Homo-oligomer: A and B are copies of this chain.
């Protein structure tokens, strides 16, 4: 299969998307890869496989040597001397983390231009990108989440809360703008930081030493679930740590927990996934408190697609790519307009 990996984007996570793409280049063995880079100006470039190194982007070398692409019906094309040349691939893979990739924008482009892709659909993007909507969704599906308070930029900061708390911008991943606040005198600064990235923030109780478990997977005909990992973390994963996380390519070992707890985590994953996330390989991060499973967050495009959690990642890509959701074909027959014209005596 020929996969076109789309990465970059106008996103705070632009750089980790580059790292993610470079990682997948080394991980994916049995598929042919094309690399489509979206730069900070939202221009598309076709990057040669040999140029997939981080300094090719940080030095802006791509501006000189990568071919510019346009998105067109069914795919991408590069301007040729006489006529445009279209890029040859079977399926695109949305690997843009954060804005553009996970907020439904690039997804919408791919849908609108009728390009087959692996990745969350628009609804799935919005419901996972916004941490409040994730909670509403999970709760409606019978999956528990941590209590929260939503605060807008203009709201009073005179809050009645019990410390410690964790402050999160409503719409970012990768721990950007996230702070743990241990007492009231640290609150102001933490809110300032979070409001740098979003006009709304979530405040949640911070439970030190809480057990966290990650599970990735996809459903296409059958369930393809990864092993359950207990991520190694200190106080919590900060951006630098998570950043390195995006470059992971070595398999990890399964969390040492009871089969019963594994089953609970898997069931929660399945409730969240289907049918909303069809077509995507997602990773859900769960907390466990008193043997109860809580959804912490949904990563609809996890770092390097959480490849390190799967036995046979190439095969998973194949399964997902051959069972993608399709758009309904809507026939427009102008019956209504014709009937109105008839009524008016114009037909």
Residues of A participating in the B interface, judged by any CB pair closer than 8 Å: 10-12, 14-16, 18-19, 40, 42, 54-55, 57-58, 73, 99-100, 103-109, 111-114, 122-123, 126-127, 130, 132-133, 136-137, 140, 152, 199-200, 240, 243, 275, 330-332, 334-338, 340-341, 346
Contacts and interface: CB of A to CB of B under 8 A. Distances in A.
Contact of A112 (B14, B109, B152): B109
- Most B CB contacts (10 A, CB to CB) among A19, A55, A100 go to A55
A42 B108 CA distance: 13
Contacts of A54: 337, 340-341
Given A73-B42, A109-B109, A58 B104 contact: no
Contacts of A133: 123, 127, 133, 136-137
A120 to B, nearest CB: 12
A112 B122 contact: no
Contacts of A335: 15
A199 B114 contact: no
- Most B CB contacts (10 A, CB to CB) among A18, A19, A57, A111 go to A111
Contacts of A340: 54
A298 to B, nearest CB: 15
B336 A15 contact: yes
Please name the 3 residue pairs, one residue from A and one from B, whose CB atoms are nearest each other, closest first. A108-B108, A58-B334, A126-B126
A313 B139 CA distance: 40
A100 B57 CA distance: 34
Nearest to A98: B330
How many copies of the shown chain assemble into the complex? 2
A240 B15 CA distance: 51
A19 B334 CA distance: 11
B330 A11 contact: yes
A105 B110 CA distance: 9
A40 B337 contact: no
A57 B341 CA distance: 12
Contacts of A104: 104, 108, 122, 126
Contact of A18 (B14, B114, B337): B337
Contacts of A127: 126, 133
Given A40-B330, A55-B346, A136-B137, A111 B122 contact: no
Contact of A108 (B105, B137, B240, B338): B105
A273 to B, nearest CB: 14
Nearest to A344: B54
A199 B341 CA distance: 33
Contacts of A11: 330
Contacts of A10: 330, 332
28 contacts: A10-B330, A10-B332, A11-B330, A14-B330, A14-B332, A15-B334, A15-B335, A15-B337, A16-B336, A19-B337, A40-B331, A40-B332, A42-B73, A42-B114, A55-B337, A55-B346, A105-B108, A106-B112, A108-B108, A122-B122, A123-B126, A123-B133, A126-B127, A132-B140, A136-B140, A152-B275, A200-B275, A240-B336
